[in-house]
Structure 1
Amino acid sequence: MLYNPEWMTVLQTSFVQRAFIAGILISIAAAAVGYFVITRKSTFATHALAHIGLPGATGAVLLGIPVLWGMGLFAIGGALVIGALGKRASDREVATGSVLAFATALGLYFSNLSSGAAKQMQSILFGSVLTITEDQLIIFALFDVILVALLLIIFRPLLFSSLDENVARAKGLPVTLLGIIFMVMMGSVITVAVPAVGTLLIFALVITPADTAMMITRSPLRAIIATFVICLVSIWGGLLLSTIFDMPPSFVIVTISVVIWLVTKAIAAIRK
């Protein structure tokens, strides 16, 4: 870990400033789905979808089409399959595992066919928030608007079905359809965010801040807002510290997120 005496100058560069803006957009997306990932017990599905998109990315390289298209096709396609097959929480685990196993095998097969596909797999795993472009920021901003608008439309029935699936089903709510819509939302978040932050980082930013927020408050709305704040603090804090001490941003961002989670969990345990 080396101190960077020029860190103030680095912070003023355009690529770092874009990374800070990306942090806001990523935090909005993570907060929008994070609370429901926890309440719906879909953490495994979130982890799986991030990796299900890998064969789409590597396959896109082989076909010479935009990587985002290939990744989106597989991530959203996987979300549809998991949502359709996993009508209940217990069923989703089996469906998720089956789809993940097939996607992983396919991704390895594609990566063996081309060195470019293998390099793309590495890029998707770790991402690079410091290389995000203005065009990507615009796409991400538009996506956030659509995501939040959709969430506002289905918020109440989605919340009801997430908290008590059996009662929601008995009340006549379209639980399966809501599950499919949510899985597509999650797959879309991963598709848009992963090129910037990687599959490993997006999992930590969707799950960890949301779980931390739910230890702080029981209110769904407050938990979503708290998730946004914790996620943003983790990203901005990680970017700042990685600039000052010349460390990989992803490592520092995840570390801050996990430390906040551990401290909150320890405080909650002491208060019991």
Structure 2
Amino acid sequence: MDKFFDFGLTAELLRYDFVVAALFAALVLGLLAGVLGPLIVSRNMAFSVHGTSELALTGGAAALLLGWDTGGGALAGAIVAALVLGLLSRRSSDYDSVIGVVLAFGLGLGVLMLWLYKGRSSNKFGLLTGQIVGQDFASLTLLIGCAVGVFAVLAVIYRPLLFASVDPAVAQARGVPTTMLALVFAVLVGVATALGVRTVGSLLVLALMVTPAAAACRVTASPLRATLLSVLFAVVSAVGGIVLSLAPGAPVSAFVTAISFLIYLVCWGISRSRRQLAQ
């Protein structure tokens, strides 16, 4: 175990610029995931996040095949996926089936594009599981710009969106444009999901977008406290996952998912204990 977690090597690696850039990217992703997560959980959009992340993989694979920036490709794929899912699933009863259909088609295209790509296999693997060396100046600029845009749009629509998330029927009866809000929020989630592909990978970005928020919602019903806890849990998972992955050189996503799942188990235990005390 000491050989696997070499703390001296970890401390040495933390001095490198690419590691610092990766930690900064993880911090921004944690903030994004933490703020969006409680709304994703309250709107039952976990499967949608999974579908969007897989279609971000398709966009990244297309960019890899064409020699373009994979971050931009993943972002384009996620935005297109969010718009397609929003337009095809006007009725809530159709939502899961539409996600399944589009996800299967897009994932098949992504696998084909990865097979056609003849470059380094590490580039393919990085799209699936994330890699800390993928953060350069251009990718950080894209990350910061998109994060600022997401926060700005969310600040404008947050109150009606929260209303529509808590009680959609009453919100619609009071004239809140629930359909438009759902479409805009789907695009915001798509952007945040795509930004996480380069660091966490498309397969397990769900752990960062959903698990911290689900853990926070286990211990509080307050939207504000749930958001603050979700941000804390997401940042700890993302930054901690990168730090723990340094010495063994293992995929970041493995540690991000482990930390976030451990946090969820603790919150689940707290919630269960509260219920037993109340009874």
Query: 1:31-65 deviations in whole A, cap 9, x for unaligned?
Result: 22211110110000000100012222222233333
Aligned pair 1:84/2:103, yes or no?
Answer: no
> Take 2:148 and 2:255, find their aligned partners in 1: how far apart are those partners?
28
> Take 2:239 and 2:67, find their aligned partners in 1: how far apart are those partners?
35
Distance 1:77 1:245, change over 3 A: closer
Q: CA deviation at 1:118?
A: 7.1
Q: CA deviation at 1:172?
A: 1.7
1:136 aligned counterpart, secondary structure: helix
1:115 aligned counterpart, secondary structure: coil
Decide whether the 8 Å contact of 1:127 with 1:199 is kept in 2: yes
Q: 1:95 aligns with which of 95, 98, 106?
A: 98
Aligned pair 1:189/2:192, yes or no?
Answer: yes
> Take 2:130 and 2:249, find their aligned partners in 1: how far apart are those partners?
17
Distance 1:149 1:101, change over 3 A: same
Partner of 2:46: 43
Decide whether the 8 Å contact of 1:215 with 1:264 is kept in 2: yes
Further displaced range: 16-25 or 252-261: 16-25
Q: 1:222 aligns with which of 210, 222, 225?
A: 225
Give the AA of the match of 2:25: A
Decide whether the 8 Å contact of 2:75 with 2:190 is kept in 1: yes
Partner of 2:181: 178
Q: CA deviation at 1:77?
A: 1.0
Q: 1:242 aligns with which of 245, 256, 273?
A: 245
> Take 2:108 and 2:9, find their aligned partners in 1: how far apart are those partners?
45
Decide whether the 8 Å contact of 2:172 with 2:178 is kept in 1: yes
Decide whether the 8 Å contact of 1:46 with 1:203 is kept in 2: yes
Aligned pair 1:150/2:153, yes or no?
Answer: yes
Decide whether the 8 Å contact of 1:204 with 1:257 is kept in 2: yes
Q: CA deviation at 1:182?
A: 0.7
Distance 1:120 1:237, change over 3 A: closer
Decide whether the 8 Å contact of 1:52 with 1:103 is kept in 2: yes
Aligned pair 1:55/2:95, yes or no?
Answer: no
> Take 2:221 and 2:238, find their aligned partners in 1: how far apart are those partners?
24
> Take 1:221 and 1:37, find their aligned partners in 2: how far apart are those partners?
14
Give the AA of the match of 2:266: V
> Take 2:69 and 2:149, find their aligned partners in 1: how far apart are those partners?
22
Structure 2 residue runs of 5 or longer lacking an equivalent are none
Partner of 1:232: 235
Q: 2:12 aligns with which of 9, 14, 19?
A: 9
1:199 aligned counterpart, secondary structure: coil
Decide whether the 8 Å contact of 2:205 with 2:253 is kept in 1: no
> Take 2:113 and 2:252, find their aligned partners in 1: how far apart are those partners?
29
Q: 2:71 aligns with which of 55, 58, 68?
A: 68
Give the AA of the match of 1:77: V
Decide whether the 8 Å contact of 1:238 with 1:252 is kept in 2: yes
Structure 1 residue runs of 5 or longer lacking an equivalent are none
Further displaced range: 128-137 or 189-198: 128-137
Give the AA of the match of 2:273: I
Distance 1:102 1:6, change over 3 A: closer
Give the AA of the match of 1:143: C
